[in-house]
Chain A
Amino acid sequence: MKPESFWHIFINASLINNFVLAYFLGICPFLGVSGKKETAMKMGGAVTFVMVIAATCAYGINLLLIAVGAPFLQLISYIVVIASTVQLVEMFIKKMSPALFRALGIFLPLITTNCAILGLVLFQTNKGYGFLESIVYALGAGAGFTLALMLMAGLREQLDFAEVPEVTKGTVLTLLIAGILSLSFMGFAGLGG
C-alpha cells in the first residue's frame, strides 16, 4: 500500500470529503452556530484546536490500548479522555489568557461531545494514520469545518436581509444551502488523484 501524502490527507479532509458537507459530522454546530461570521470563525478555530488535541490524545490512547491488549475499550476511552482533556485545557486557558478564553473557551464545552471530534479520531484510527498524519488530518478536518461554517455564515448573514418566505426560514433554508454547498464541493472530487 502506498501511503497517502500529507497534502492529499489535508485536501481530502478539508475539501473532497469535507467533514460537514460530505461526512455529515458536526451538523449541530453547523446548523446552530453559523448565523454570524464572527462566532462561526471562533467556533471553527475552537473546533480545529480541539481536533488537534483529540488527535494527539487518540494516538496515544490507541498505542496504550494496543499495548495492554484492550482495543475494545477504544470508544469509551477516547470519549472519556478527550472530554477530560478538553476540560483541562479549558481551565488552563481560562487561567492563562482570559482574552483567549472569551474568544475560544465558551465553545469548548459545546465541542466536547461533538460528532466531528469523535468521528475524526475514529477515522484516524481506522485509516491507521501515524502521528504526523493524524495531526495533518485533524488540521485538514478543522480547516474544512471552518470553511463550511464560514461560507454558511456569510450566506446566512446576507440572507438576513432577504425576503425569505416564511415557510423556508430557519433550519430548512440552512439545510438547503448546505445541500447546494455540498453539490458545489463535489467539484473538488478527485483532486490530487
Chain B
Amino acid sequence: MLNKTLNISTSPHAVQGVSTADIMRNVVWALLPAAFFGVYAFGLSALFLLITTTVSAVLTEHFLCRFSNKESTVSDWSAVITGLLLGMTLPPNFPLWMAFLGGVISITLGKFIFGGLGCNVFNPALVGRAFLQAAFPVAITTWYPAFLPDRFSTYSVATFTLPFMEPALDGFTGATPLAAFKFSHQATAIPELALGLISGSTGETCAVLIILGGLYLIARNMMNWRIPASILLTVFAFCGLLNLINSELYPTPLFMLFSGGLMLGAVFMATDLVASPVTPLGNWVYGAIIGLLVVVIRIWGGLPEGVMYAVLLGNAISPHIDNLIKPRVYGTGKR
C-alpha cells in the first residue's frame, strides 16, 4: 500500500480549475447571441459568411500547426473566436471568397507569424479585417439592408462571387447610420441603434445582445471589464463635451456609443487579452486611448468609422503602456 512511487511537483498543488480553453469556449458562447441576431437580421448570406470565416480560421490554424510540426492548437478554441469575430465585423453580403481569404490572413499574419496563441501583438481578427478593408474597400463598404422579407430563401448576389472576381454590387452604400451622419448629418434614433434595427456589419448591429454577452463573461470573470468600461466612458465623455460645445456639428454621445462597431469593438475586440496591456491601470489607459482615437477618427478623419484602426493602434501602443505603467509593488513606497 505504501510502496508506490510518489509523484512530486511544485506548489501550489491546487488550481482554480478554469483553463484557457474554457475561457475561449465561453467567449464563443457569449458571441453567439449577437451572431444569431445577425443571421436573423440579414438571413442566409450572413449565415454563410459566419460559417466561412470560422471554418477558414480553424482550418488555417490547423494546417499551419501541421506544417510547422506542432500539435494542432485548434482545440484551444481561440481560432474559432477569431474566425467568428472576423465574420461579425464584415458586411453580411461580403463575398465568401474574400471572407475566406480574410480568415487565412487573420490567422497567418495576425497570429501565426508571431508564434501563435499568446504571442500575437495585434488582434488577429482585426488584422484580417484591416487587410480586407485595404484590399477590397468597395466590397467592405457595400451594405445589405436588414430584415429583407425574403432573406431566408435567397441570398445576396455578391455572396457567391467566383474567387478573384469582382462582386456584383447589389447592396446599397453609405446608408449606415455613421455614414449618414458623417456625410449628410442625419442622426438615427437611439432605440433603433441599440436594438439593431439598422444595417451594418453582420454582428455589430444589436448592441443589447453584445452587452449581454459581455456581462456574462464579466460575471464569470473571464473578461477584463476595465477595458470596455474605459472605452465607453471615454467616448461618452469626449463626445459629450463636443456635443455640448456644438450640438449641430457633433453627434450625441449615445449615438456615438451605439452606432457602428463601437460596442462590438469595445466589448469583444479591444478586450482581446493577448494584445492588450495586462496591468489594471494600463487597461484604463489603453481603453482611454482607443476611445479617443475612435472619436477623433469618426469626427475629424476621412473615414466614417474608426474602431478597427483605433483598436489596432491601441494594440501597437500596449507594450509601451505595459512598460510605463507597472503596478506599485508591495512595500516599495508610493508610486
Contact = CB atoms under 8 A, between A and B. Distances in A.
A and B touch in the complex (CB under 8 A): yes
Interface of A: 37, 150-151, 154-155, 157-159, 162-165, 168, 172-173, 176-177, 179-181, 183-193
Contacts of B297: 187-188, 191
Nearest to B316: A151
A187 B312 CA distance: 10
Interface in B292-321: 293, 296-297, 300-303, 306, 308-310, 312-313, 316-317, 319-320
A184 to B, nearest CB: 4
23 contacts: A151-B320, A155-B316, A159-B119, A162-B114, A162-B115, A162-B118, A163-B116, A163-B119, A164-B115, A164-B119, A176-B109, A180-B122, A183-B127, A183-B130, A183-B312, A184-B313, A185-B313, A187-B301, A187-B303, A188-B297, A190-B302, A191-B297, A193-B302
Contacts of B101: none
B131 interface: yes
Contacts of A151: 316-317, 320
Contact of B112 (A165, A177, A188, A190): A165
A189 B130 contact: no
Contacts of A183: 127, 130-131, 134, 312
A47 B112 CA distance: 34
Contact of A159 (B68, B109, B121, B293): B121
Nearest to A148: B316
B113 interface: yes
A179 B306 CA distance: 18
A192 B114 CA distance: 34
Given A189-B303, A190-B301, A165 B320 contact: no
A109 to B, nearest CB: 28
B interface secondary structure, majority: helix
A174 B312 CA distance: 16
Interface string B191-213: 00000000000000000000000
A192 B122 CA distance: 27
Contacts of A193: 302
B306 A187 contact: yes
B184 interface: no
Contacts of B309: 184, 186-188
A114 B300 CA distance: 33
B316 A190 contact: no
A5 to B, nearest CB: 13
B11 interface: no
Interface in B83-136: 109-110, 112-116, 118-119, 121-122, 127, 130-131, 134
A154 B323 contact: yes
A176 B112 CA distance: 12
A188 B298 CA distance: 10
Contacts of A187: 293, 297, 301, 303, 306, 308-310, 312-313
A180 B302 contact: no
B113 A165 contact: yes
Nearest to B315: A184
B320 A154 contact: yes
A165 B115 contact: yes
Q: Which of A165, A173, A193 has the most CB of B within 10 A?
A: A165
